[in-house]
A and B are shown apart, each in its own frame.
Chain A
Amino acid sequence: MNTHYEYKPANVGRWLIWTLFALVLAGVPHIFTSGLGTTVLTQMGIAIIACLSYNILLGQGGMLSFGHAVYTGLGAFLTMHALNRIGDGLPLPVSLLPLVGGLAGIGFAVLFGYVSTRKSGTTFAMITLGLGELVFALSLMIPEFFGGEGGVSGNRVVGPVRAGISFGPPLQVYYLIAIYTFLSVAAMFAFTRTPLGRMLNAVRDNPERVEFVGYNTRMVRYIAFILAGFFAGIAGGLGALNFEIVTAEVVGTARSGAYLLFTFLGGATFFFGPIIGGILMVLAFVLLSEFTKAWLLYLGLIFIFMVMYAPGGIASLIMMNLRLAKYGRLRQIWVSYLGLGVCALVILTGAAVLIEMVYHLQLGSAVGPQLLFLGIPFNAGDMNSWFGSVFVMLTGLGLFELLRRQYLREWSDIQERIEEDTKGQDLL
């Protein structure tokens, strides 16, 4: 695809969406009522704030950072220390602690951002990587702040209990985080509609031109960096309250990489993309990792696939198809989607069986070569299983490729029809 699409729903729709969002946040813990459900939802709220803050840099500003976890992590550490001081008499209510994280995020963003935002593009990415490694390496050297191997822990049930809210029960924590999530999302959305927010987009699109309309590009990036650090710190603070322990890995490169991966997966080009990304991040870390040991591998492969075929992420896929639906063209192509989906499933199954068999041989050889996958017995020692899964996978790949070309033809056909219908008046 080489044209850019934009699709703006009507303003009434906007109020509806925000109300719906608030209702969903309020009501969803009553759908997933288990302990696991509540904690997953809480983590999703935190991840949404973190990924949205990351997207201020990536999607809105065109700044690829490999060290965003520094700001969420340091926010978490400072919040944890503040929490522990409440026990010693710091007159701060627990509910306001994430703001301490936010302030920490601002502080460190002011400090590190000064160096980072001097450059752009690849150099910026490398600087953020280096700073991330620096902070992580420091975490092992300063035990007072970072707590050494065991990290820093605390108790969020501290201070006066007001209206029965002690933040002991997970549900109370969820609602606290839900409030912060709603406010942060609203604030970050509002930011995209301010002069600075728009100029940040301009910097992303053409940093040189921006200088010639009176703006100091570096300053625009620096301020945006600080704002992103603020929200990142809030996310970190919420995480500290939720888990009641903060260890050095919260500032590590793996965490930074996760923010990048999932924000991109969700979609960096639309505001709601990182929301999807944050949800997926928690699902992957908490649930997928239980399902299969090869989850990082699957993640990497999906990521590569997205970069190649859908660089706008899941959000862009949704929006492109919504646009089709708007013109009533979706029904023409859903058969293709069905076909593609089935093929993808076939490939996935074949590949998954292969991967699981290899893992099984690697790790579980003591229990013999048989393994159960999706309830079906496979024998990792038997060549039939290997041939079968390779065959299935290759067939799936071949069919997928065929269907993909067909799909692309249908897609451009539909795009042409839409252009004709709207005579280019559409928000193309």
Chain B
Amino acid sequence: MEFFIISMLNGLSYGLLLFMLSSGLTLIFSMMGVLNFAHASFYMLGAYIGYSISRFTGFWPALILAPLVVGVLGALFERVFLRRVHKFGHVPELLITFGMSYVIIELVQLVWGRITLEFKPPESLQGPVFTLVNDGVKGISLLWGAAPADVCSAADAAVRVVCSPFPATRGFMMLVALVMLGAVWLMLTRTRIGLVIQASLTHPEAVQSLGHNVPRVFMLVFGAGSALAGLAGVIGGSTFLTEPAMAAAVGSVIFVVVVVGGLGSLSGAFLASILIGVLQTFAVAMDHSLVSLAQQWGLSLGPASLDNSYLKLTLAQVAPILPYLFLVLILIFRPRGLLGKREG
């Protein structure tokens, strides 16, 4: 039971991280029609810059500064490179972000090296935020912080006590994601600039003829989207690993998320992120395969079946392909995505 709760929370936190990333991607796409291939590399940049800043100032200032730096870089990229190919159409725009992703990843490795960096979360976030203690006798109870050792190992050998900690970093991830999303939603719906952005999403020429500086709005949105990615990077980098492969690890998944959710739909991206996040997390934790399931249910299998590598595949081993499988299924049965409004 506690396994379920903790896994669910882990899945939600991963899903929210995915949403932090895919929301920026969706905003940029809705606004400019550009699917930003370099988005995952901005995520990576956020982690690395956050790491460097945190070495001077500690974690908390880095959490604010790194996304800002990444945001400025993103805005610059839009202004200098993207804008110039805008007139060539959508394919060159996609291609230039594609090229940029290569360049950023290589530059990061150039400056910071190819080894994994130790980007540690701050003291206050190390350790669990709460621990679920499942005492075979007394049931499940919740203890804030880490459970002391004597609670986790029962005096009586016959009683099985399982302690499941929920890491503070994960909790923080969820908190930041929700706060940030709330802020973005408020800004989009309650402020003047938000209204301009919403209008530019569908009718950029009309907005421009009303006197608003649409190119500047584009630059702002691109910068903001990149800053979001950078923020996700700081959190992701400190919770997971900060290494050159981190962009690739998350890059394709967020594209799956935006397509599955429906290109251009923020709520679709949210739904898809949570679904995929939870699915992945649960799958990775499950060590069952068809063979082990059959054995659990008491079915007897011949030696050929026991040896069949397909049947022996555990869910954990299959986990990496699940998002892509999901993508293919959605495209067959519901091509416009879960909540997509337009045919992409």
Contacts and interface: CB of A to CB of B under 8 A. Distances in A.
A62 B98 CA distance: 17
Contacts of B94: 64, 122, 125
A127 B99 contact: no
A352 interface: no
A307 B110 contact: no
Contact of A134 (B29, B100, B321, B335): B321
A260 B252 contact: no
B263 interface: yes
Which of B98, B99, B259, B263 gathers most chain A CB within 10 Å? Answer: B99
Given A130-B252, A141-B317, A359 B98 contact: no
Interface residues of A, number: 44
A17 interface: no
A130 B84 contact: no
Given A141-B318, A359-B110, A304 B344 contact: no
Contacts of A126: 35, 255-256, 258-259
Given A122-B35, A125-B94, A142-B309, A115 B103 contact: no
Contacts of B90: 121-122
Contacts of A64: 91, 94-95
B92 interface: yes
Interface stretch (A27-35, A166-174, A293-301, A314-322): A293-301
Contact of B331 (A127, A144, A300): A127
B94 to A, nearest CB: 7
Question: Looking at chain A's contact residues, is the secondary structure mostly helix, strand, loop, or mixed?
Answer: helix
Interface stretch (B134-142, B230-238, B296-304, B322-330): B322-330
A130 B255 contact: yes
A137 B335 contact: no
B255 A115 contact: no
A119 B335 contact: yes
Contacts of B102: 257, 296-297, 299-300, 303
B324 A119 contact: no
A203 to B, nearest CB: 14
Interface string B233-256: 000000000000000100010011
A303 B100 CA distance: 9
Interface of A: 62, 64, 115, 118-119, 121-123, 125-127, 129-131, 133-134, 137-138, 140-144, 253, 257, 260-261, 264, 294, 296-297, 299-301, 303-304, 307-308, 311, 355, 358-359, 362-363
